[in-house]
Amino acid sequence: MATINHLSALDQLTAGDLLAVWATGNGDTRKSSIGLLTTYITNQLTLPIGIERSQYAAPSTSPFSVSILFSNTWLILNPTGTLASGIIIMPTAPADLTLVAIVTTQTITSLTVTGGGPSVVGAPSTLAAGQAFTMRYDAATNAWYRDNNSIVNISTFAQTLLDDPDAATARATLGLGSISTQAANSVAITGGSITGITDLAVADGGTGSSTASGARTNLGAGAVGDAVFVAATASAAQQAMDVEVGVDVQAYDADLAAVAGLSSNGLIARTGAGTAAVRTVTAGAGISVANGDGVSGNPTVTATMVLVNIAAADIAAIGNAINTTGKAAGKMVWDTTNTKIKVATGSAAASTWVDADGTNAVTPS
């Protein structure tokens, strides 16, 4: 070890640097390069093969040529602008399943990918800005094959979406509001506006039309209803319904309201401004009344104290109406035969009639 400590130190190892090793098969000490040792160690590992390092290139002229220095590298091309053509050379002596990823920030109109010995199958011949692809080496066929099914084009915006830590942040990046989290069968719209949609059917709560007249028709409005709906004033609506005040219907009146408020049968009397009452014609002394409330017909008023002209023979007949109807003590009749006043002494049909001076009694029989 003292001898090793006297050697000069290296700041960086290269693949060609040599190491002393004991060759078991030969039984002696021999030398090996760092590159050979690296390959041996890599071949002994069973770790998944993926991108391990990045390589950057910024070509400014066309055509350009970029060699990928190591296996399992992500090559980032950052040209100064759109380039007409360029060549990418894959790493030399690749191990089986070696992976290379390539992405460009600018358009490359014509691209050539060469394997530097191994063949290249399926590499793209052109790249747009932001596009990427991967190639994987197969030792059995000594060829590079496109590892992804299609060129991946990840925009700057897409990159901001991919690094979002959760769904809420992703929705914010996409500019989605609270409605984006609502279930299809439970959507609540509490603001905004809706335009350019198919007319909503009546069965679904709409009118089935995008015009006012069509909506009224779909909702079942007839000619009158349509006219009422578009009436600009109350008077116009009344005219459409034939209920114009003063023309088709009586205007409100307190007296009419009072009459409408009556509930019993009889004759109506105005008892004051805006008041009314039910009245009935009633009999008085010497007067009889039939149908006084007028319900069954016109009231009939009969004077019981007025002299009736009747012949003496009818006065004496017990079956005559003068003796059977309305007879009462003191009732007077005019005896047209004797030209005298006769006075009934009672209400019975056989009650005597006498002259006004109390003489000449006549008893009906």
- Does 214 reside within a domain? yes
Strand intervals (E) in the chain: 18-23, 28-33, 53-57, 64-67, 73-77, 83-89, 99-104, 108-114, 119-121, 131-138, 143-146, 152-153, 267-272, 275-279, 287-290, 300-303, 308-310, 332-335, 340-344, 353-355
Residue 107 within a domain: yes
Whether 221 maps to a domain, the answer reads yes
Calculate the average pLDDT of the chain.
85
For 256-282, the DSSP string reads HHHHHT--S-SEEEEEETTEEEEE---
Query: In this predicted structure, what is the pLDDT of residue 118?
Result: 93
Tell which of 199, 233, 249 closes a domain: 249
Round to whole Å and give the CA distance between 198 and 200.
6
Structure tokens at 301: 């008023």
C-alpha count within 13 angstroms, C-beta hemisphere, residue 309? 2
Query: What local confidence, expressed as pLDDT, does residue 278 receive?
Result: 85
The answer to whether residue 42 sits within a structural domain is no
Alpha-carbon span 69 to 88, nearest angstrom: 11
**pLDDT higher at 193 or 101:** 101
Average pLDDT over residues 121-140: 92
Give whole-number Cα distances, 172 to 156, 161, 176, 183, in Å. 16, 9, 6, 18
CATH number for position 133: 2.60.120
Number of domains in the chain: 3
What pLDDT score was predicted for residue 138?
Answer: 93
Which of 232, 249, 266 is where one domain is finished?
A: 249
pLDDT at 1 > cutoff 60:
no
**Domain annotation covers residue 98:** yes
In 3D space, the residue among 70, 34, 77, 76 whose CA is nearest the CA of residue 52 turns out to be: 70
> Taking Cα atoms as reference points, which of 1, 9, 163 lies closest to residue 172?
163
For residue 61, being part of any structural domain is answered with yes
pLDDT at 261: 86
223 plus 133 within the same structural domain: no
- Does residue 139 share a domain with residue 58? yes
Instruction: Report which of residues 235 and 113 the model is more confident about.
Output: 113
- Phi, psi angle pair for 274, to nearest 5°: 75, 15
Regarding whether 60 and 151 lie in a shared domain, the answer is yes
pLDDT at residue 40 greater than cutoff 90: no
Q: Which residues of 116-138 are buried (b: 16+ CB within 10 A; e: fewer)?
A: eebebeebbeebeebbbbbbbbe
pLDDT bin (cut points 50, 70, 90) of residue 155 is low
**Are 152 and 217 contained in the same domain?**
no
Give the residue numbers spanning the domain of 61.
53-156
pLDDT confidence bin for 230, thresholds 50/70/90: confident
- Strands 99-104, 131-138: parallel, antiparallel or unpaired by DSSP? antiparallel
* Beta-strand pair 99-104/73-77: parallel
Q: Are residues 326 and 244 in the same domain?
A: no
With beta carbons less than 8 A apart as the criterion, state whether 329 and 339 touch.
no
- Of 109, 103, 81, the residue nearest 154 (C-alpha): 103
- Report the distance separating Cα 337 and Cα 171, nearest Å: 125
Q: Are residues 68 and 141 in the same domain?
A: yes
The residue with greater pLDDT, 336 or 193, is 336
Q: Which of 57-61, 96-100, 254-258 has the lowest mean pLDDT?
A: 254-258
Are 329 and 344 within 8 A, CB to CB? yes
The verdict on residue 183 lying in a domain is no
- Spatial separation of the C-alpha atoms in residues 187 and 70, rounded to whole Å: 55
Residue 245 falls within a domain, yes or no?
Answer: yes
At 47-69, the pLDDT tens digits run 455 778 899 999 999 999 999 99
**Cβ(280)–Cβ(290) below 8 Å:** no
198-202, 244-248, 271-275, 351-355: segment of lowest average pLDDT? 244-248
Read off the pLDDT of each residue in 130-158 and give the average, rounded to a whole number.
81
Please indicate, yes or no, whether residues 57 and 147 belong to a single structural domain of this protein.
yes
Whether 105 contacts 80, CB under 8 Å: no
Buried b (16+ CB within 10 A) or exposed e, 286-310: eeeeeebbeeeeebeeeeeeeebeb
- The whole-angstrom separation of Cα 34 and Cα 32 is 7
Residues 150 and 220 in one domain: no
- Domain ends where: 133, 156, 179? 156
pTM of the predicted protein model:
0.34
Convert 149-174 to b/e letters by CB count within 10 Å (16 or more is b).
eebeeeeeeeeeeeeeeeeeeeeeee
* Residue-wise pLDDT tens digits, 270-322: 889 889 888 888 877 667 788 878 788 888 877 666 678 899 999 999 999 99
Residue 93 main-chain phi, psi, to 5 deg: 45, 55
Decide which of 58 and 35 is more confident.
58
